[in-house]
Structure 1
């Protein structure tokens, strides 16, 4: 059945009205959320979830935030939460919920330093893990106390490295790899196609890296848990441990369930026995402006993030290629920061697996 002219007009007007209503609702939500700040009760515990890949920078999506969709946490944001909590009189303690963060050892060191800096405030900071491997435990040792559930395990098995070599398979297929190589001892990228095992140069480099990591790792644990480095190495050789064994060896402070950990915090913070522990999540606390706590009021420093594979052109992000650092984008950001007379210094944070040498 054909729609009359009047009906078409009414449909169009109805569609326009519907779009306007939706726009008004979205706008109202955005304004309401942007104006409001989360409430932080006195003597609260800031709960920071340390998990995922934690990129240096994660753009905020206002629309998703307005509708309560959880935003991706960046590593920089995590460090900022600790800085704010240190000076915020409403925060009585911090609880680190460590859940297999996919970060490198450089970020692990930086996060440990931030945890130690928070501890200088005199406020307690506890670490909780359902299970821990090398990196989780290393982060946890920076806290005042470490807790595992009674069913938890600790896998501090030390460091190892391995490399794949395809020369044998290629020989069976009658394939030879032709490589032009400069500096054959340490430039070993083609070795997986031209050799059947590690060369002396590759082995030397990998062993040097492992020795440095292991030295820093054992020294950090020894200092935090008040043990000698040799004792720590012996404990690593005898790992893994269940929660009871980890406690008996002084690697953790207690094997308890989460509610018992919270009872410990309540006692530390002077709560009454029947009081409920007041907590605020890192996602909510992120909305507290740093300048409201007296931070970021000094000279301005520009921080430029280069997160992702490096390529020529503009930076981009997509489901297939992931984060791409474009040379044009970074160069323009550096020029803008250089020309800004209000900026006194520039920090370029590079979090990249590599990419184009020309870019």
Structure 2
């Protein structure tokens, strides 16, 4: 490879480069894309004037056209989620490869961006002003975001995210779904903004905020139905089971930053909303020595602020009543034998509950 600057015909060179680029993104003829980094170098160092901006703009034009075609292909499927996940996986790999091929172009663009010290210049744009200076990978993510995700949201009834939330609803209903493709779609929202100043903005706006609303509505309806039809023991069993499921679902679909807000929303609908019912029935659970249910009540209410205070008070009162009952059965005069029996009874009571934890 010669590093000398050459006179080249940009239209002819870029036409060849574009064909190689299409082979890369369409995963066809990949054996022919080797060496195109030389084309990139030659265009970026052309004599007498480099074609750096024209190359960047030409790549942007290609990606706009390609992603528009891919979007139409995705929307032709009934299962948009799976079609999108498969298309984005290939696109992301191709974009990463294309950016590496264009490493010399990337360095020129970033160097030019960083060489300006004025705040306005640091946000400089390329060519006709559609895009700021950035790597080809960052450009590819930006164009997919605008041409696919935002376009489907604004012009196609947000069918992609609608199906994502529908898949998750079916998952909560106990149906078998392709959780891997749901995870891939949600993950793409993080990847698409990963090279920006606000890497989670797209994920939060498109997924997290509506997901919290869907979570609230789903468990609001279910908790109201279960508490109306089931015993408190059955209700707490369902709440405990659903909580474990939601924690696992968080790990499948959500970014780490969403885990706490989603669980808090679940707790609000399944625990906070009906803590009064659990408090009310707790005394009878203790009186009837349903200690497993007592433990469930404690574990659930310990997740919300001041949830266990009434339980501890009831528990203490229950043990106090048992002790007083033992004393009262001895009458006003306590014989030596009676005293021994009282001591044995209180010792048994102490050992019975001091080792028992409802937590």
Fold equivalence (TM over 0.5): no
Higher relative contact order (CA 8 A, sep 6+): 1
Return the TM-score normalized by structure 1.
Answer: 0.24
Which one has the bigger helix percentage?
A: 2
Higher strand share: 1
